[in-house]
A = this chain, B = another copy of it.
Amino acid sequence: MPEEFKLRLRNISPKKHICVSQQFTSEYLFELFALAKEMEENSHLYSEVLKNKIICLLFYEPSTRTRLSFESAANRLGAKCLVSENASQFSSAIKGEIIEDTIEMVNHYADFVVVRHVEDDVAYKILNSTKIPYINAGTGKTQHPTQSLLDVYTIYQNFQRLDNLKICLCGDLLRGRTVDSLVYLLSKFKNNKFYFVSPENSRIKSDLKDHLHEWQKINNLDFVESDNLINVLPDIDILYITRIQKERFENPEEYELAKGKFILNLQNVSLMKNESIILHPLPRVDEIAKEVDNDPRAKYFQQARNGVYIRMALLKILNDNTDL
Protein backbone atom coordinates (compact mmCIF):
# COMPACT_ATOMS: atom_id res chain seq x y z
CA MET A 1 0.00 0.00 0.00
CA PRO A 2 1.47 3.41 -0.95
CA GLU A 3 2.57 5.59 1.96
CA GLU A 4 -0.12 8.21 1.29
CA PHE A 5 -2.86 5.56 1.71
CA LYS A 6 -1.40 4.46 5.03
CA LEU A 7 -1.29 8.06 6.13
CA ARG A 8 -4.92 8.51 5.17
CA LEU A 9 -5.97 5.50 7.26
CA ARG A 10 -4.05 6.80 10.27
CA ASN A 11 -5.76 10.17 10.04
CA ILE A 12 -9.33 8.97 10.00
CA SER A 13 -11.29 9.80 13.12
CA PRO A 14 -11.85 6.66 15.23
CA LYS A 15 -15.31 8.07 15.86
CA LYS A 16 -16.06 7.44 12.16
CA HIS A 17 -14.24 4.22 11.21
CA ILE A 18 -11.80 1.84 12.90
CA CYS A 19 -8.99 0.96 10.46
CA VAL A 20 -5.61 0.92 12.23
CA SER A 21 -4.48 1.37 15.81
CA GLN A 22 -2.52 4.53 14.98
CA GLN A 23 -5.87 6.33 14.79
CA PHE A 24 -6.44 6.23 18.53
CA THR A 25 -5.44 9.31 20.56
CA SER A 26 -5.07 9.42 24.35
CA GLU A 27 -8.22 11.46 24.48
CA TYR A 28 -10.15 8.85 22.51
CA LEU A 29 -8.74 6.02 24.62
CA PHE A 30 -9.66 7.54 27.96
CA GLU A 31 -13.17 8.38 26.76
CA LEU A 32 -13.50 4.79 25.54
CA PHE A 33 -12.16 3.30 28.79
CA ALA A 34 -14.52 5.38 30.92
CA LEU A 35 -17.47 4.33 28.79
CA ALA A 36 -16.44 0.65 28.81
CA LYS A 37 -16.22 0.73 32.62
CA GLU A 38 -19.59 2.43 32.91
CA MET A 39 -21.12 -0.11 30.54
CA GLU A 40 -19.75 -3.02 32.54
CA GLU A 41 -21.16 -1.56 35.76
CA ASN A 42 -24.54 -0.43 34.44
CA SER A 43 -25.10 -2.54 31.35
CA HIS A 44 -28.90 -2.48 31.73
CA LEU A 45 -28.88 1.26 30.98
CA TYR A 46 -27.50 0.62 27.49
CA SER A 47 -29.74 -2.19 26.25
CA GLU A 48 -31.50 0.00 23.68
CA VAL A 49 -28.64 2.22 22.49
CA LEU A 50 -28.58 0.48 19.11
CA LYS A 51 -32.24 -0.50 18.96
CA ASN A 52 -33.31 -1.09 15.33
CA LYS A 53 -29.69 -0.83 14.18
CA ILE A 54 -28.15 -3.62 12.09
CA ILE A 55 -24.52 -4.72 12.24
CA CYS A 56 -23.11 -6.79 9.39
CA LEU A 57 -20.19 -9.06 10.30
CA LEU A 58 -18.21 -10.48 7.38
CA PHE A 59 -15.51 -12.96 8.41
CA TYR A 60 -13.23 -14.13 5.59
CA GLU A 61 -10.97 -15.89 8.13
CA PRO A 62 -11.90 -18.18 11.04
CA SER A 63 -12.69 -16.42 14.30
CA THR A 64 -14.41 -17.18 17.55
CA ARG A 65 -13.47 -14.56 20.09
CA THR A 66 -13.60 -11.50 17.87
CA ARG A 67 -16.80 -12.39 16.08
CA LEU A 68 -18.71 -13.63 19.11
CA SER A 69 -17.61 -10.72 21.29
CA PHE A 70 -18.76 -8.25 18.61
CA GLU A 71 -22.08 -10.08 18.40
CA SER A 72 -22.37 -10.16 22.18
CA ALA A 73 -21.63 -6.42 22.33
CA ALA A 74 -24.12 -5.68 19.56
CA ASN A 75 -26.85 -7.76 21.19
CA ARG A 76 -26.31 -6.13 24.58
CA LEU A 77 -26.89 -2.76 22.92
CA GLY A 78 -30.09 -3.96 21.28
CA ALA A 79 -28.71 -4.23 17.72
CA LYS A 80 -29.37 -7.06 15.27
CA CYS A 81 -26.54 -8.90 13.49
CA LEU A 82 -26.17 -10.11 9.90
CA VAL A 83 -23.39 -12.67 9.98
CA SER A 84 -21.21 -14.39 7.44
CA GLU A 85 -19.21 -16.88 9.50
CA ASN A 86 -17.16 -18.05 6.54
CA ALA A 87 -17.50 -15.41 3.87
CA SER A 88 -14.60 -16.69 1.80
CA GLN A 89 -16.45 -19.91 0.95
CA PHE A 90 -20.15 -19.23 1.26
CA SER A 91 -20.49 -15.69 0.02
CA SER A 92 -20.19 -14.12 -3.41
CA ALA A 93 -16.43 -13.99 -2.88
CA ILE A 94 -16.35 -17.55 -4.18
CA LYS A 95 -17.95 -16.30 -7.41
CA GLY A 96 -15.17 -13.72 -7.79
CA GLU A 97 -16.86 -10.64 -6.32
CA ILE A 98 -14.43 -7.94 -5.20
CA ILE A 99 -14.71 -6.62 -1.66
CA GLU A 100 -15.67 -3.14 -2.89
CA ASP A 101 -18.84 -4.53 -4.47
CA THR A 102 -19.67 -6.49 -1.34
CA ILE A 103 -19.37 -3.33 0.71
CA GLU A 104 -21.51 -1.33 -1.75
CA MET A 105 -24.20 -3.89 -1.04
CA VAL A 106 -23.78 -3.88 2.74
CA ASN A 107 -24.19 -0.09 2.70
CA HIS A 108 -27.84 -0.73 1.96
CA TYR A 109 -28.35 -3.65 4.32
CA ALA A 110 -26.77 -2.54 7.56
CA ASP A 111 -25.79 0.43 9.73
CA PHE A 112 -22.29 -0.84 10.61
CA VAL A 113 -19.91 -3.28 8.94
CA VAL A 114 -17.30 -5.37 10.73
CA VAL A 115 -14.82 -7.20 8.48
CA ARG A 116 -12.05 -9.72 9.06
CA HIS A 117 -10.11 -10.33 5.86
CA VAL A 118 -7.05 -12.19 4.70
CA GLU A 119 -5.63 -9.27 2.68
CA ASP A 120 -3.12 -6.94 4.35
CA ASP A 121 -4.38 -3.80 2.63
CA VAL A 122 -8.09 -4.42 2.47
CA ALA A 123 -8.95 -1.63 4.93
CA TYR A 124 -8.19 0.97 2.31
CA LYS A 125 -10.41 -0.70 -0.29
CA ILE A 126 -13.26 -0.99 2.18
CA LEU A 127 -12.90 2.60 3.25
CA ASN A 128 -13.27 3.71 -0.34
CA SER A 129 -16.61 2.00 -0.76
CA THR A 130 -18.26 2.11 2.65
CA LYS A 131 -20.92 4.69 3.47
CA ILE A 132 -21.48 3.28 6.98
CA PRO A 133 -19.02 3.00 9.90
CA TYR A 134 -16.46 0.26 9.18
CA ILE A 135 -14.62 -1.68 11.87
CA ASN A 136 -11.49 -3.63 11.04
CA ALA A 137 -11.68 -7.00 12.84
CA GLY A 138 -8.31 -8.16 11.50
CA THR A 139 -6.50 -7.60 8.20
CA GLY A 140 -4.01 -10.22 7.01
CA LYS A 141 -0.73 -9.95 8.88
CA THR A 142 -1.02 -6.21 9.42
CA GLN A 143 -3.53 -4.97 12.00
CA HIS A 144 -6.20 -5.90 14.52
CA PRO A 145 -7.02 -2.53 16.05
CA THR A 146 -9.95 -3.50 18.29
CA GLN A 147 -7.73 -6.17 19.85
CA SER A 148 -5.21 -3.47 20.71
CA LEU A 149 -7.99 -1.47 22.37
CA LEU A 150 -8.87 -4.26 24.75
CA ASP A 151 -5.17 -4.95 25.29
CA VAL A 152 -4.43 -1.38 26.41
CA TYR A 153 -7.66 -1.27 28.43
CA THR A 154 -6.50 -4.33 30.36
CA ILE A 155 -3.08 -2.74 30.85
CA TYR A 156 -4.71 0.46 32.05
CA GLN A 157 -6.94 -1.43 34.50
CA ASN A 158 -3.82 -2.96 36.05
CA PHE A 159 -1.35 -0.06 35.98
CA GLN A 160 -3.55 3.06 35.73
CA ARG A 161 -1.17 4.29 33.05
CA LEU A 162 -0.03 3.57 29.48
CA ASP A 163 3.43 5.16 29.79
CA ASN A 164 6.60 4.21 31.64
CA LEU A 165 5.97 0.52 31.00
CA LYS A 166 8.27 -2.36 30.13
CA ILE A 167 6.50 -4.70 27.72
CA CYS A 168 7.79 -7.96 26.35
CA LEU A 169 6.11 -9.10 23.10
CA CYS A 170 6.84 -12.75 22.52
CA GLY A 171 6.01 -15.19 19.73
CA ASP A 172 5.87 -15.05 15.96
CA LEU A 173 6.28 -11.30 15.51
CA LEU A 174 6.64 -11.50 11.74
CA ARG A 175 3.33 -13.15 10.94
CA GLY A 176 1.03 -12.01 13.73
CA ARG A 177 -0.96 -8.76 13.68
CA THR A 178 -1.99 -8.17 17.27
CA VAL A 179 1.57 -7.26 18.31
CA ASP A 180 1.81 -4.65 15.57
CA SER A 181 -1.45 -2.99 16.53
CA LEU A 182 -0.50 -2.96 20.21
CA VAL A 183 3.00 -1.55 19.64
CA TYR A 184 1.79 1.15 17.26
CA LEU A 185 -0.58 2.20 20.00
CA LEU A 186 1.75 2.04 23.02
CA SER A 187 4.49 3.88 21.14
CA LYS A 188 2.26 6.94 21.35
CA PHE A 189 2.99 7.14 25.07
CA LYS A 190 6.19 8.31 26.81
CA ASN A 191 9.06 6.21 28.12
CA ASN A 192 7.85 2.75 27.14
CA LYS A 193 10.39 0.01 26.57
CA PHE A 194 9.64 -2.91 24.23
CA TYR A 195 11.34 -6.30 24.38
CA PHE A 196 10.66 -8.25 21.18
CA VAL A 197 11.31 -11.92 21.83
CA SER A 198 10.94 -14.31 18.92
CA PRO A 199 12.71 -17.02 16.95
CA GLU A 200 15.44 -15.58 14.74
CA ASN A 201 13.28 -16.06 11.63
CA SER A 202 10.20 -14.39 13.09
CA ARG A 203 11.44 -10.92 14.06
CA ILE A 204 9.21 -7.83 13.85
CA LYS A 205 8.36 -6.43 10.43
CA SER A 206 10.50 -3.68 8.92
CA ASP A 207 7.52 -1.32 8.86
CA LEU A 208 7.13 -1.57 12.60
CA LYS A 209 10.87 -1.19 13.12
CA ASP A 210 10.90 1.97 10.99
CA HIS A 211 8.06 3.30 13.08
CA LEU A 212 9.89 2.59 16.33
CA HIS A 213 13.01 4.34 15.09
CA GLU A 214 10.89 7.31 14.09
CA TRP A 215 9.24 7.60 17.50
CA GLN A 216 12.30 6.69 19.57
CA LYS A 217 13.26 10.29 20.23
CA ILE A 218 9.81 11.85 20.20
CA ASN A 219 8.51 9.71 23.05
CA ASN A 220 11.76 8.49 24.56
CA LEU A 221 10.88 4.93 23.76
CA ASP A 222 13.33 2.08 23.73
CA PHE A 223 13.32 -1.40 22.20
CA VAL A 224 15.44 -4.52 21.99
CA GLU A 225 15.13 -7.75 20.01
CA SER A 226 16.06 -11.09 21.48
CA ASP A 227 15.36 -14.79 21.32
CA ASN A 228 15.61 -15.34 25.05
CA LEU A 229 12.42 -15.05 27.06
CA ILE A 230 13.80 -16.15 30.44
CA ASN A 231 16.29 -13.31 30.63
CA VAL A 232 13.69 -10.58 30.22
CA LEU A 233 11.04 -11.98 32.56
CA PRO A 234 12.43 -10.37 35.75
CA ASP A 235 12.53 -6.91 34.16
CA ILE A 236 9.12 -6.49 32.63
CA ASP A 237 5.71 -5.16 33.67
CA ILE A 238 3.79 -6.87 30.91
CA LEU A 239 4.35 -10.13 29.08
CA TYR A 240 2.31 -10.22 25.87
CA ILE A 241 2.70 -13.71 24.52
CA THR A 242 1.29 -15.01 21.21
CA ARG A 243 1.14 -18.29 19.33
CA ILE A 244 4.17 -19.62 17.49
CA GLN A 245 2.48 -20.67 14.25
CA LYS A 246 3.88 -24.10 13.51
CA GLU A 247 2.63 -24.09 9.93
CA ARG A 248 4.88 -21.12 9.13
CA PHE A 249 8.14 -22.95 9.79
CA GLU A 250 9.83 -24.71 6.89
CA ASN A 251 11.91 -26.94 9.13
CA PRO A 252 10.01 -28.82 11.87
CA GLU A 253 13.17 -29.22 13.98
CA GLU A 254 13.68 -25.48 13.93
CA TYR A 255 10.08 -25.08 15.11
CA GLU A 256 10.63 -27.48 17.99
CA LEU A 257 13.78 -25.61 19.03
CA ALA A 258 12.06 -22.24 18.81
CA LYS A 259 8.92 -23.35 20.57
CA GLY A 260 10.68 -24.78 23.60
CA LYS A 261 12.14 -21.39 24.42
CA PHE A 262 8.80 -19.65 24.61
CA ILE A 263 6.67 -21.87 26.78
CA LEU A 264 5.40 -20.20 29.90
CA ASN A 265 4.93 -22.42 32.93
CA LEU A 266 4.70 -21.69 36.66
CA GLN A 267 8.47 -22.11 36.99
CA ASN A 268 9.33 -19.24 34.68
CA VAL A 269 6.32 -17.16 35.73
CA SER A 270 7.92 -17.19 39.20
CA LEU A 271 10.74 -15.09 37.71
CA MET A 272 8.32 -12.27 36.99
CA LYS A 273 7.59 -9.34 39.29
CA ASN A 274 4.58 -9.75 41.57
CA GLU A 275 2.78 -6.78 40.10
CA SER A 276 3.48 -7.76 36.49
CA ILE A 277 0.78 -9.16 34.22
CA ILE A 278 0.54 -11.82 31.50
CA LEU A 279 -1.55 -11.12 28.41
CA HIS A 280 -2.36 -13.25 25.38
CA PRO A 281 -4.74 -12.38 22.50
CA LEU A 282 -5.88 -16.04 22.52
CA PRO A 283 -6.38 -18.68 21.27
CA ARG A 284 -3.34 -20.25 22.87
CA VAL A 285 -2.04 -23.65 21.94
CA ASP A 286 0.67 -24.69 24.35
CA GLU A 287 2.70 -21.52 24.84
CA ILE A 288 1.07 -20.93 28.23
CA ALA A 289 0.70 -24.02 30.42
CA LYS A 290 -2.77 -24.45 31.91
CA GLU A 291 -1.23 -24.34 35.42
CA VAL A 292 -0.51 -20.62 34.88
CA ASP A 293 -4.23 -19.77 34.60
CA ASN A 294 -4.65 -19.52 38.37
CA ASP A 295 -1.61 -17.29 38.91
CA PRO A 296 -2.80 -13.78 39.83
CA ARG A 297 -0.60 -12.35 37.06
CA ALA A 298 -2.59 -14.22 34.37
CA LYS A 299 -4.96 -11.66 32.88
CA TYR A 300 -5.74 -13.20 29.49
CA PHE A 301 -9.27 -14.23 30.36
CA GLN A 302 -9.87 -10.74 31.79
CA GLN A 303 -8.71 -9.47 28.38
CA ALA A 304 -11.34 -11.59 26.64
CA ARG A 305 -13.96 -10.29 29.04
CA ASN A 306 -12.88 -6.69 28.44
CA GLY A 307 -13.35 -7.24 24.71
CA VAL A 308 -17.13 -7.17 25.09
CA TYR A 309 -17.24 -3.86 26.99
CA ILE A 310 -14.63 -2.19 24.78
CA ARG A 311 -16.59 -3.19 21.67
CA MET A 312 -19.86 -1.99 23.21
CA ALA A 313 -18.24 1.38 23.97
CA LEU A 314 -16.70 1.57 20.51
CA LEU A 315 -20.05 0.86 18.82
CA LYS A 316 -21.78 3.49 20.93
CA ILE A 317 -19.20 6.14 20.05
CA LEU A 318 -19.46 5.30 16.34
CA ASN A 319 -23.24 5.44 16.56
CA ASP A 320 -23.22 8.77 18.39
CA ASN A 321 -21.13 10.20 15.55
CA THR A 322 -22.96 8.84 12.50
CA ASP A 323 -25.01 11.97 12.01
CA LEU A 324 -22.21 14.49 12.53
Contacts and interface: CB of A to CB of B under 8 A. Distances in A.
Given A85-B85, A301-B104, A109 B69 contact: yes
Contact of A75 (B80, B92, B95, B96): B80
A102 interface: yes
Contacts of A241: none
A97 B54 contact: no
Contact of A108 (B62, B63, B91, B305): B305
Residue of A47, A68, A80, A89 with highest tally of chain B CB at under 10 A: A68
A110 B71 CA distance: 10
A48 to B, nearest CB: 10
Contacts of A86: 85-86, 89-90
B95 A283 contact: yes
Given A47-B52, A85-B90, A104-B301, A282 B97 contact: yes
Contacts of A59: 90
Nearest to A85: B90
Contact of A284 (B75, B101, B304): B101
Contacts of A62: 89-92, 94-95
Nearest to A43: B52
Given A64-B105, A91-B63, A105-B304, A110 B283 contact: no
A243 interface: yes
A97 B283 contact: yes
A262 to B, nearest CB: 15
Interface in A19-68: 44, 47, 52, 54, 56, 59, 62-65, 68
Given A82-B72, A85-B90, A243-B95, A108 B308 contact: yes
A114 B2 CA distance: 45
Given A62-B89, A80-B75, A96-B283, A68 B101 contact: no
Contacts of A108: 69, 72, 301, 304-305, 307-308
A84 interface: yes
Contact of A72 (B54, B76, B93, B101): B54
Q: Which 10 A-B pairs have the closest CB atoms?
A: A97-B283, A92-B283, A108-B305, A64-B91, A72-B109, A75-B80, A96-B285, A64-B92, A62-B90, A105-B304
6 contacts: A62-B91, A64-B93, A69-B109, A72-B108, A84-B85, A104-B301
Interface of A: 44, 47, 52, 54, 56, 59, 62-65, 68-69, 71-72, 75-76, 80, 82-87, 89-97, 100-102, 104-106, 108-110, 243, 282-286, 290, 301, 304-305, 307-308
